[in-house]
Amino acid sequence: MDGLSFLRHLLDSGATPPGIGRTLDFSLQAVDAGSVTLTARPSKAHYNPLGTVHGGYAATVLDGAMALALHSTLPAGQGYTTTALTIHYTRPMTAESAPLRAIGKLVQRGGRAASATAELFDAEGRLCAHGSSALMIFDIPAAKV
């Protein structure tokens, strides 16, 4: 199934988020070709020693939003990986900042490379972090039977 159909299936089925989404408690809330919205709910388990949400949490949610924005445009049989990630933090987050909303958008997609951006907002609509990524697109080898 192509990427957009797959993501819409996940969204419509209400399935438990796979892998990292379950681990960090973020999930898909909206999807269209080239854009996604994720909702994230950090807890005190995601805090750094300073008592705020660790920057790696925000980076992972933003990376997920950017990657899924690309995923929504891929045909069946293609995959991707992030090759560069830049994150800018604009305000600290705590568990009380939730729910967070990450909006990822595809900027450019070629045959083998893509770029995307994302923004992360707290429950009050304030920008907490934003980022950009470069992604590599590749063919997924067919399973050998």
Residue 142 confidence (pLDDT): 82
Give the pTM: 0.95
> What is the SS3 assignment for 14?
coil
Tokens of 95: 């568990």
pLDDT tens-place string over residues 101-131: 999 999 999 999 999 999 999 999 999 999 9
More confident site: 14 or 134: 134
- Residue 19 pLDDT > 90: no
Domains identified in the chain and CATH numbers = 3-139 (3.10.129.10)
**Is it the case that residue 16 has pLDDT exceeding 80?**
no
Q: Is 125 exposed, middle or buried (0-12, 13-18, 19+ CB in 10 A)?
A: exposed
